[in-house]
Amino acid sequence: MSDRVEFAVMNGLGNKILVVDMRGRTDRVTPAAAIALAADPATAFDQIMAIHDPKLDGTDAYIDILNCDGSKAQACGNGTRCVVQALAAETGRKSFTFQTIAGILNAVEHVDGTISVDMGKPVFAWDKIPLSEEFHDTSRIELQIGPIDAPILHSPSAMSMGNPHAVFWVDRDPMSFDLERFGPLLENHPIFPEKANITLAQVTSKTTMITRTWERGAGLTLACGSAACAAGVSAARTGRTERKVTITVASSPNRGTLTIDWRADDKVVMTGPAEWEWSGTVDPATGDWERDESGQAEAATP
């Protein structure tokens, strides 16, 4: 078995994604390799999407997802769109079914190049999100940052999109908050036994929102697809918006948008772009990589 496999540096609305082709192999991308790749400015990423041979009949691949700290992630909508674009370019196909830790995901690439991913059904039960305390209504839980009589952030909506989310409602641009300071405190708050993705959401109309996210295991990222899904669902659930919204991701380049549709069948469909940047080969055990460039490889050892 060769030490190296093909990989691509991609992004979904700026969310930095490494798509690693592990098909035909029995090993996995190691946490050490993920940490080494994340530490190198050339390959720094938010999530690795490792494509493995399918484990279930009727699926096209098993997707193993890693955060930049080497931990496992259950879901990554922006990363799934990148996988779809990569496989569509390779095979000419437009629709795919993937297995992940979070379950089965169906995805399709449209004529205009945008990609829709069926992210599954949201989960609201406190012990399934999970939370460490019982809440009858998780659309508004008791959690705040700042002085008790004048909190900066408070009363988030909590839910799971295959991974835990807390959505804080704000009345101004999410970029105006010091999320880099508050994010780690909230991600690791004892109320979230498996940590949580933390999103600031500003509702601007019944069909539009602006969001910014601190990702569990990744920190501040330019975009987070599952967080956009959680924000869209939570906004509709609390009566702030309709069930289909366009979300402007405040931290993405040019403030790119995602469409979130919480359908009548309870499934959440996210539609947005994916972009290829460059390709190379990588050792999934160590993170050593080479870049393909005009027929010449640029070597690096993270």
On the 0-12 / 13-18 / 19+ scale of CB atoms within 10 A, 144 is middle
Active-site residue, selected from the candidate residues 68, 76, 82, 229? 76
How far, in Å, are 30, 137, 190, 199 from residue 127 at the CA level? 30, 12, 14, 20
Question: Which residues, other chains included, contact 84 with Cβ-Cβ below 8 Å and sequence gap of 6+?
Answer: 96, 107, 108, 109, 115, 117, 274
- Known binding residues for substrate are 15, 47, 67, 77-78, 163, 197, 215-216, 225-226
Q: Calculate ∠ Cα 105-157-162, nearest 5°.
A: 20
C-alpha 219: how far from chain center: 12
How far, in Å, are 80, 114, 118, 208 from residue 93 at the CA level? 15, 14, 17, 32
- Known binding residues are 15, 47, 67, 77-78, 163, 197, 215-216, 225-226
CA distance 281 to 37: 12
Q: Which residue has the tokens 């979130």?
A: 260
Active-site residue, selected from the candidate residues 68, 82, 224, 229? 224
CB 290 within 8 A of CB 4: yes
Let me know if 224 is a catalytic residue. Answer: yes
> What 3-state DSSP class applies to 47?
strand
Phi, psi of 277 (to 5 degrees): -115, -60
What token pair was written down for 285? 């055990």
Let me know if 82 is a catalytic residue. Answer: no
Supply the residues annotated as catalytic: 76, 224
